[in-house]
Amino acid sequence: MGVDAADVVTAAGGLVFDAVRAGWAVDLYLETADDQRALQILGASGRPLSDGFGCEADWPSAIFLAADLHRRHSGVRSFVRDADRRERTDVAIWGEDCPSDLATGARIEHKLSHAAAAFKRHALDAAGLTPQLTQTEPFRSRGRRPPTVPSPARP
């Protein structure tokens, strides 16, 4: 869950690409569902985040979200609290000024595959951002186990 496509691509674009490539179902919810081209380059698409956001039946195994979105969106805060109570969904957050209820978690990093780095570079360009890539994407994890993405299968 992110503020917009640029936010998701910048903070978690490599994670999104690697998760899609590994066969995971990746649902992206955006506060501002703007130009989708950058997300499509990563193999995903974004949906608008509604005020009454939540899950009824199929809870995700992991939630990655922007600290800014958590701070501003009461529905997201409620969703994260519900996920935490269920104890089967791990939560990780990106961004500065991590909310105090999520700041106590372990620092984790997603190491980008070579393909993820290449596709993220193109997605950043499509979002109108200057590609400044690192080999990892940092998050704070509140889960009982850090959320991880399996390495994509090799042909």
* pLDDT tens digits along 134-145: 899 999 887 655
Per-residue pLDDT band for 57 (boundaries 50, 70, 90) equals low
pLDDT of residue 24 exceeding 80: yes
**Nearest CA-CA partner of 99 in 129, 77, 122:** 77
Q: What is the pLDDT of residues 93-108, one digit of tens each?
A: 999 877 666 666 788 8
In a domain, 103, yes or no: yes
In a domain, 155, yes or no: no
The mean of the pLDDT values for the chain is 85
- How many domains does the structure of the chain reveal? 1
Half-sphere exposure of 51 (CA within 13 A, CB side): 0
Q: Which domain holds residue 14?
A: 5-141
What percentage of the chain has pLDDT greater than the value 70? 83
In a domain, 153, yes or no: no
**With contact defined as beta carbons under 8 Å apart, do 88 and 104 qualify?**
no
Is a pLDDT exceeding 80 seen at residue 14? Answer: yes
Task: Output the six-digit token pair for 43.
Answer: 């193999």
**Confidence (pLDDT) at 155:** 43
Question: Would you say residue 151 lies in a domain?
Answer: no
Mean pLDDT of 71-89: 83
